[in-house]
Chains A and B, each alone.
Chain A
Amino acid sequence: MKDIVKITSDIISLDEVAKSVHDPKAGAISTFSGTTRDNFEDKEVKTLAYEAYVPMAEKSIQSLITAARQKWSDLIHIAIWHKIGDCPVGETSVVIAVSSGHRTQGLEAVHWLIDELKVQVPIWKKEVYTNGGPDGTDGGEVWKANNTIPK
Chain B
Amino acid sequence: MPHFTVLYFASAKDAAKAESEKLDWSSGIDAAALTRLLVQLHPELDQVLKTSMFAVNMEYMDQDQSWTVQPGDEVAVIPPVSGG
| Interface residues in chain A, defined as those with a beta carbon under 8 Å from any beta carbon in chain B | 34, 50-53, 55-57, 59-60, 82, 93-94, 114, 117-126, 143-146, 149-151
Contacts and interface: CB of A to CB of B under 8 A. Distances in A.
A117 B60 CA distance: 14
B71 interface: no
Given A56-B76, A124-B79, A124-B81, 7 more contacts: A51-B9, A53-B78, A94-B84, A125-B83, A126-B10, A146-B84, A150-B53
Contacts of A150: 53, 60, 78, 81
B19 to A, nearest CB: 10
B11 interface: yes
A125 B10 CA distance: 8
Given A53-B55, A53-B76, A53-B78, A34 B84 contact: yes
B58 A144 contact: no
**Overall SS of chain A's interface:** mixed
B72 interface: no
Contacts, number: 78
A56 B58 contact: yes
Contacts of A53: 7, 9, 55, 58, 76, 78
Interface of B: 7, 9-11, 13-14, 51, 53, 55, 58, 60, 76, 78-84
B55 A124 contact: no
A52 B84 CA distance: 11
